[in-house]
C-alpha cells in the first residue's frame, strides 16, 4: 500500500513540497494555503494556450493584423485623451513617450477591456505543476503571487488574468508587479487592476528600469544587399552590432540617425519575403516586456499610428 503525503493532489504533483516551502521560507499558514489550493482548478485550456502563443505560431504579417487595426488605434487615441495628465506626468517622470505606454496597454488588454478570463491562481498552479518545460518559472511566479496578495492585502482566489498568469491593465507577472508596479497617484496602494494612473506609471517605470533611453528612436527600416551569415540571422534581441559591422555586412544605414550605439537585426516575415530593420536600445527595452521582436514591432507601429491620429485632432 502506497501512503500519500499529506495534501497530495494527483492534479498538482509536488504541491505538498511547495506548501512546505511557503510555510518554512515565508511564514504562510499551512491550513490557509491548503484551503486555497483545495479550490484551485487545473485547466487544460491553459496548457493548450501556452503551447501555441501567437508570437510563435503566426508570421509577422498575420500577427501585425491582430494589433494594428482602426479600432485599436481609435481606442488608443480615446485612452490618451481621457488620461492625458497621467500620461504627460509619466513621460516627464520616466522619459517614456505617452504613445508607447498607450500602445502597450492597447496590445496587452485593449486599454483594460480584456484583462484575461482565468483566475491567476488557477493559471499559475496549472503551469507550475503541470507544465514541465517551464515549471520552475511558473512555480516562482506562483510564489511571488502568494506573497503579493499578502503584501497588497488582496484575495488569493479572485484576481483574474491571462492564461499565463499575467495580471491587470498592463499584464504584469507577479514578480514584475512586486518589483516595478508603482503608486503613481499617491493614494497609498499599487493598483494596476483598476487604477489607470498606477498602470500608466508602472509601465513607464518598467521600461525605464529595463533601459529605456529618453529621446532616442526605436527601430529603423533597412535593406541588405549581401547574403547574411548564420550568426546575423539568429535574431538575437539584444543590440550587439556596430554600425561599421552592419555596413560591411551590406546593410543600409540611410534611415538610421547619427550615433555610435550598437544595434540588433530585426527580421520580419512578409508575404513577399523577409523585411529587415535595425533595432536600437529602446526596441530592446520593449522586448523586456515581452521577449518577442514581433511584439516590440507591433507596439512601435501601433504607437506611431496612435501618435499620428492624436496629433491630427
Q: What is the mean pLDDT of the chain?
A: 93
What's the rounded Cα separation, in Å, for the pair 28 and 24? 8
Q: How confident is the model at residue 255 (pLDDT cuts 50, 70, 90)?
A: very high
For residue 51, what pLDDT is reported?
86
Q: Is the pLDDT of residue 5 over 70?
A: no
Inter-axis angle of helices 135-151 and 15-26, nearest 10: 40
Work out whether the CA dihedral 244, 245, 248, 254 comes out positive or negative. negative
108 is catalytic: yes
Report pLDDT digits (tens) over 55-79: 667 899 999 999 999 999 999 999 9
Q: Is the pLDDT of residue 297 over 80?
A: yes
Backbone angles phi, psi at 268, to 5 degrees: -135, 135
Domains and CATH numbers, the chain: 1-57+116-166 (1.10.8.350), 219-279 (no CATH)
For residue 226, what pLDDT is reported?
85
Helix, strand, coil in percent for the chain, rounding step 5: 50, 10, 40
Report pLDDT digits (tens) over 268-287: 999 999 999 999 999 999 99
Q: Which cell numbers in the block locate residue 51?
A: 503551447
Q: How confident is the model at residue 232 (pLDDT cuts 50, 70, 90)?
A: confident
For residue 4, what pLDDT is reported?
37
Q: Which cell numbers in the block locate residue 104?
A: 502597450
What's the rounded Cα separation, in Å, for the pair 90 and 105? 14
Report pLDDT digits (tens) over 99-123: 999 999 999 999 999 999 999 999 9
**Who's near 121: CB < 8 A, 6+ residues apart?**
36, 39, 40, 142, 145, 156, 157, 159
For residue 54, what pLDDT is reported?
65
Rg over alpha carbons for the chain, rounded to the nearest Å, is: 22
For residue 6, what pLDDT is reported?
39
DSSP, collapsed to helix, strand or coil, labels residue 148 as helix
What's the rounded Cα separation, in Å, for the pair 184 and 251? 42
Selecting among 99, 108, 141, 143, the annotated active-site residue is: 108
Strands of the chain, DSSP E: 118-119, 160-161, 219-222, 264-270, 273-279
What percent of the chain clears pLDDT 70, i.e. is strictly above it? 96
Q: Is the pLDDT of residue 181 over 60?
A: yes
Amino acid at each position: 500500500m502506497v501512503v500519500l503525503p499529506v495534501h497530495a493532489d494527483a492534479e498538482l504533483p509536488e504541491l505538498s513540497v511547495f506548501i512546505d516551502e511557503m510555510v518554512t521560507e515565508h511564514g504562510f499558514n499551512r491550513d490557509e494555503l491548503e484551503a486555497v489550493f483545495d479550490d484551485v482548478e487545473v485547466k487544460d485550456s491553459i496548457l493548450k494556450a501556452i503551447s501555441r502563443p501567437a508570437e510563435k505560431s503566426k508570421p509577422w504579417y498575420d500577427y501585425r493584423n491582430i494589433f494594428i487595426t482602426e479600432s485599436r488605434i481609435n481606442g488608443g487615441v480615446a485612452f490618451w485623451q481621457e488620461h492625458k495628465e497621467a500620461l504627460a506626468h509619466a513621460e516627464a517622470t520616466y522619459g517614456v513617450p505617452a504613445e508607447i505606454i498607450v500602445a502597450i496597454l492597447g496590445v496587452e488588454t485593449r486599454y483594460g477591456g480584456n484583462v484575461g478570463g482565468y483566475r491567476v491562481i488557477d493559471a499559475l498552479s496549472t503551469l507550475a505543476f503541470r507544465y514541465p518545460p517551464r515549471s520552475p518559472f511558473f512555480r516562482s511566479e506562483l510564489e511571488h503571487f502568494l506573497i503579493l496578495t499578502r503584501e497588497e492585502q488582496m484575495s488569493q482566489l479572485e484576481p483574474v488574468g491571462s492564461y499565463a498568469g499575467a495580471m491587470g491593465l498592463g499584464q504584469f507577472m507577479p514578480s514584475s508587479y512586486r518589483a516595478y508596479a508603482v503608486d503613481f497617484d499617491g493614494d497609498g496602494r499599487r493598483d494596476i487592476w483598476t487604477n489607470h494612473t498606477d498602470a500608466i506609471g508602472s509601465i513607464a517605470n518598467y521600461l525605464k528600469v529595463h533601459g529605456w533611453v529618453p529621446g532616442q528612436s526605436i527601430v529603423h527600416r533597412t535593406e541588405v544587399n549581401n547574403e547574411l551569415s548564420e550568426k546575423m540571422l539568429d535574431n538575437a534581441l539584444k543590440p550587439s552590432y556596430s554600425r561599421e559591422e552592419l555596413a560591411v555586412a551590406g546593410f543600409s544605414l540611410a534611415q538610421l540617425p547619427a550615433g555610435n550605439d550598437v544595434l540588433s537585426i530585426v527580421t520580419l516575415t512578409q508575404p513577399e519575403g523577409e523585411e529587415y530593420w535595425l533595432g536600437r536600445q529602446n526596441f530592446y527595452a520593449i522586448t523586456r516586456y515581452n521577449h518577442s521582436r514581433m511584439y516590440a514591432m507591433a507596439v512601435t507601429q501601433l504607437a506611431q499610428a496612435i501618435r499620428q491620429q492624436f496629433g491630427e485632432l
